[in-house]
């Protein structure tokens, strides 16, 4: 099989919920939130709703995680990173590294990572998935600065939505996601 890495810029639509987790457990949804999507969707804390499509293949986003991280540009500032995936992520992976890149890599590399400012605006997107064809397996990833989609941040909770579409190196991609997340607390083993 041929492997061709594809890199590009993209934008992400999402609503998020983040939790503090047991070190060896995946996030378990615990509270209900009504999202502001056009079709009324009730998301529990830790859930995402929507899909990521690349190269004609779709992945349903079901799980949402969030935590505070160092600023991507200015490390003296804090930002929120939001991880949206198709399957649960083991708790110990959510604290591995400076952001959710390790968690996404070790859990199969399919999902979206969003960055939000403390003021509640999405500022960065990283999209990662795998496109599989009969004679080809493409690791598809792209990152892009975002400017303006608003997320709701209250105490230790984030929710929002995002959507984008485009074409990168001949591959069409899109996503439309809503999320609800409770921000994980550093060093806490339970949520």
Q: Which ranges of the chain would DSSP assign to H, the alpha helix?
A: 91-94, 101-106
pLDDT score, position 187: 53
Rounded Cα–Cα distance for residues 79 and 89 (Å) = 21
User: Global pTM?
Assistant: 0.75
- Which parts of the chain register pLDDT below 50? 1-39, 188-191
| Structural domain count, the chain | 1
Question: What does the angle CA 39 – CA 111 – CA 128 come to, to the nearest 5 degrees?
Answer: 130
The pair of three-digit structure tokens given for residue 90, joined into one six-digit string: 């083991």
pLDDT score, position 59: 94
User: HSE on the CB side for 148, CA within 13 Å?
Assistant: 3
Q: State the sign of the Cα–Cα–Cα–Cα dihedral 179, 149, 128, 2.
A: positive
18 in any annotated domain: yes
71 in any annotated domain: yes
76 in any annotated domain: yes
Summary count for the chain: helices (H), strands (E): 2, 13
68 in any annotated domain: yes
> What's the domain range around 38?
2-182
52 in any annotated domain: yes
Which residues have a Cβ under 8 Å from the Cβ of 134 and sit 6 or more positions away? none
């Amino acid at each position: 099989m041929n492997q061709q890495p594809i890199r590009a810029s993209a934008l992400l639509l999402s609503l998020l919920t983040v939790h503090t987790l047991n070190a060896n457990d995946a996030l378990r949804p615990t509270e209900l939130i009504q999202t502001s999507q056009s079709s009324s969707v009730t998301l529990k804390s830790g859930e995402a709703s929507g899909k990521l499509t690349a190269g004609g293949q779709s992945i349903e986003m079901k799980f949402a995680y969030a935590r505070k991280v160092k600023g991507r540009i200015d490390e003296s500032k804090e930002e929120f990173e939001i991880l949206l995936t198709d399957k649960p992520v083991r708790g110990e992976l959510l604290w591995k590294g400076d952001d959710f890149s390790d968690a996404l890599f070790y859990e199969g590399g399919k999902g979206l990572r969003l960055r939000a400012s403390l003021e509640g605006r999405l500022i960065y997107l990283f999209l990662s998935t795998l496109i599989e064809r009969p004679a080809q397996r493409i690791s598809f990833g792209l990152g892009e600065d975002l400017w303006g989609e608003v997320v709701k941040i209250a105490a230790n909770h984030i929710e929002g939505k995002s959507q984008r579409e485009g074409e990168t190196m001949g591959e069409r991609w899109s996503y439309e996601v809503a999320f609800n997340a409770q921000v994980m607390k550093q060093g806490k083993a339970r949520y």
